């Protein structure tokens, strides 16, 4: 599985934008970039995913570099509830796993602290 590299921790102020980086220099052409986050004592929560183009949803935006070797999760206005561990994960082509599963391999993620 291709690996991702994220900073261990980041800090942000409330109501300011946050840019969470992720490097994935060994990404293959069929790997999707997924982001999940985990609030304290809870299971992970899906945030966003993309393949080549930038993506936006109600939670965040995902900016993907042209060479796809890095990506950035953007929280437009951080709130205290956004304090969590953010995981950047590459999902390999489903054909690698028999064509039927979207197995995810989690790394250690980035711990985001939001200051009031």
Residues that bind other proteins (CB under 8 A): 32, 34, 36, 38, 41-46, 49, 87, 91, 94, 98-109
Which residues touch 43 (CB under 8 Å, ≥6 apart)? none
Closer CB to other proteins, residue 13 or residue 28?
28
Query: CB of residue 84 vs other proteins: minimum separation in angstroms?
Result: 13
DSSP state of 95: G
Q: HSE-up of 39 (CA within 13 Å, CB side)?
A: 10
Query: CB of residue 1 vs other proteins: minimum separation in angstroms?
Result: 11
What is the distance between the alpha carbons of residues 53 and 71, in angstroms, rounded to a whole number?
Answer: 11
C-alpha distances out from residue 79 to 41, 71, 116, Å: 18, 22, 8
Closer CB to other proteins, residue 13 or residue 108?
108
Closer CB to other proteins, residue 43 or residue 116?
43
Closer CB to other proteins, residue 25 or residue 108?
108
Query: CB of residue 29 vs other proteins: minimum separation in angstroms?
Result: 17
Query: CB of residue 61 vs other proteins: minimum separation in angstroms?
Result: 17
Question: Is 10 buried (19+), middle (13-18) or exposed (0-12) by CB count in 10 A?
Answer: middle
């Amino acid at each position: 599985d291709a690996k991702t590299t994220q900073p261990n921790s980041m800090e942000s102020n409330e109501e300011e934008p946050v840019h969470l980086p992720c490097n994935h220099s060994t990404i293959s052409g069929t790997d999707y970039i997924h982001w999940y986050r985990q609030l304290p004592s809870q299971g992970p929560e899906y945030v966003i995913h993309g393949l080549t183009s930038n993506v936006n949803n109600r939670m965040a935006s995902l900016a993907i570099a042209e060479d796809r070797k890095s990506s950035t999760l953007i929280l437009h206005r951080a709130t205290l509830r956004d304090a969590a561990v953010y995981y950047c994960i590459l999902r390999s082509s489903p054909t690698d796993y028999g064509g039927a599963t979207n197995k995810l391999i989690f790394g250690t993620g980035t711990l985001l602290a939001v200051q009031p």
